[in-house]
Amino acid sequence: MKVIICGAGQVGYAIARQLAAEQNDVTVLEQDLALVQRINDTLNARGMQGFASHPDALEQAGAADADMLIAVTFADEVNMVACQVAHSLFNVPTKIARVRHQSYLMPAWRDLYTRSHLPIDVIISPELEVGRAVLRRLELPGAFDNIPFVGDKVRVVGVTTLPETPIVGSPLRHLTGLFPDLSITVLGIGRGERLLVPSADDQVLAGDEVYFAADSQHISRALSLMGHEEKEARRVIVVGGGNIGGHIARQLEQKGSPVRAKLIELDRGRAERMAEQLDRTVVLQGSALDQEVLKEANVQQSEAFVAVTNDDEVNILASLLAKRSGCKRVIALVNNVAFMPLVTPLGIDAAVNPRATTVSSILQHVRRGSIRRVHSLRDGAAEVIEAEALETSGFIDKPLRAVQLPHGINVGAIVREDKVIMPRADSVIEVGDRVIIFALAEQVRKVEKLFAVRLEFF
């Protein structure tokens, strides 16, 4: 597949790295010469200096025979125009644009993005994606990741195991016998810097980051099995009144009376606007690093603290102050991926990285075959994939034990109409089933082939 990526920032670089590693033909168009040089020096991709929306630059990048254009520059308008030029002059089949400003995303203007106006096939909003990710983590307070699949029939959840976690030290094959009524499959285990796809004989250790798939109706019991029985937060403090913080506060208000939210915003003008826009949220103007402001927000009695300003250091430090003051659970927005390994040892319960959420949103439109949804884990080390089984797939009507999936691929769940099936060795996948698969990065192409229209993989 030939892909042009406009913009070599964090998201553009991450997408280029992932697609180039999968042997796609990738060209990255970027104005900043230093970023272009970084692409050429570190990736198996072609970096070009140029303005993303200029026809001559797109032509030199190979737009005439490109399969896809992904516009992720810092300017919404450049991303939009790049998609328009790619469509009108070069007939690029698929065009994806990152759009940040909320005015462009209002439902009233949805017709703007039709082929007769601005022909953008997929709009990605990092702020909305991050807001949704934070809300999912608030929904399951014991989890650091929580991703719905197949219309929320299945959840893939990430939790950190504790010494008292019931399954610690037991081979995974014993889970079915110990908990016969529980629909759960352990997909992957993060242990230090490594990400493992466990076998039935492997054990979960205390401190592991465990990713599991479960029937959404069994999530509470599954979390108990992992040693987490925290209740959903009712008293929430949100730090930052930008697009992300505003979206979170509005969604919390829609949950109704059990949830009481407070929002802290440093800028007086923005705090006043938030106070006008929100109905039941208490808005405080001040710094989240000020102990008096935190005390006024009653942080010691709060059950969740969410820091989503545009400053990583403020988010991290404010979260640590809130935790030290007695807040039960803290979540921080962290843009710099170099900080991500530090947040858990520091005591932050969950971190959200905008690059990771944006990359996941884009990848589900890049993946070929009958793939419906993708979520990237651990900075691209693995993916959770939702795919539909086709008639031409070679594994149809075969027990999973006979399919002999390559190492690094794990089937997490099968959804047949409204029924969720946790896979066993004798489970059979039928045409039309939705299959949830955990795959290490180097095995993703094999999953694509597995669910391609024609299969010559096995």
Q: Are residues 340 and 391 in the same domain?
A: no
Which pLDDT score is estimated for 105?
83
Q: Where are the alpha helices (DSSP H) in 48-202?
A: 55-60, 76-88, 126-139, 175-178
Residue 230 lies in a domain: no
Which pLDDT score is estimated for 257?
65
Closest-CA residue to 214 (of 175, 136, 156, 133): 156
By CB atoms closer than 10 A (0-12, 13-18, 19+), residue 229 is: exposed
> 222 in helix, strand or coil?
helix
Q: Among 356, 377, 393, which residue terminates a domain? A: 356
Q: Are residues 331 and 389 in the same domain?
A: no
Which pLDDT score is estimated for 457?
40
For the stretch 22-63, pLDDT in tens is 889 999 999 999 999 999 999 999 999 999 999 999 999 999
Say if residues 407 and 377 touch (Cβ distance below 8 Å).
no
DSSP code of 404? -
Q: Are residues 172 and 262 in the same domain?
A: no
CA dihedral 137, 140, 144, 148 (to 10 degrees): -70
Q: Are residues 310 and 350 in the same domain?
A: yes
Paired tokens of 136: 């999912």
Q: Are residues 345 and 268 in the same domain?
A: yes
Looking up tokens 């069994």 gives 218
For the stretch 107-141, pLDDT in tens is 888 788 887 788 999 999 888 889 999 999 998 88
Residue 456 lies in a domain: no
Q: Among 108, 124, 140, which residue terminates a domain? A: 124
Identity of residue 159: V
Closest-CA residue to 382 (of 140, 189, 114): 189
What is d(CA 338, CA 196) in angstroms, rounded to the nearest whole number? 22
The CATH number that applies at residue 77 is 3.40.50.720
Q: Are residues 77 and 135 in the same domain?
A: no
Residue 160 lies in a domain: yes
CA dihedral 247, 253, 259, 261 (to 10 degrees): 60
What is d(CA 99, CA 278) in angstroms, rounded to the nearest whole number? 24
CA atoms within 13 A on the CB side of 216: 15
Q: Are residues 112 and 196 in the same domain?
A: no
Say if residues 128 and 98 touch (Cβ distance below 8 Å).
no
Residue 458 lies in a domain: no
What is d(CA 315, CA 302) in angstroms, rounded to the nearest whole number? 17
Residue 311 lies in a domain: yes
- Number of folded domains that form the chain: 4
Residue 80 lies in a domain: yes
Which pLDDT score is estimated for 453?
57
Paired tokens of 4: 């042009």
280 alpha-carbon distance from chain centroid: 29
Q: Are residues 311 and 396 in the same domain?
A: no
Q: List the chain residues with pLDDT less than 50.
A: 455-458
CA dihedral 145, 151, 152, 153 (to 10 degrees): -130
What is d(CA 131, CA 331) in angstroms, rounded to the nearest whole number? 12
Q: Are residues 153 and 211 in the same domain?
A: yes
Pairing of strands 154-160, 409-416: unpaired
Say if residues 251 and 135 touch (Cβ distance below 8 Å).
yes
The CATH number that applies at residue 169 is 3.30.70.1450
Range of the domain at 197: 130-225
Which pLDDT score is estimated for 382?
93
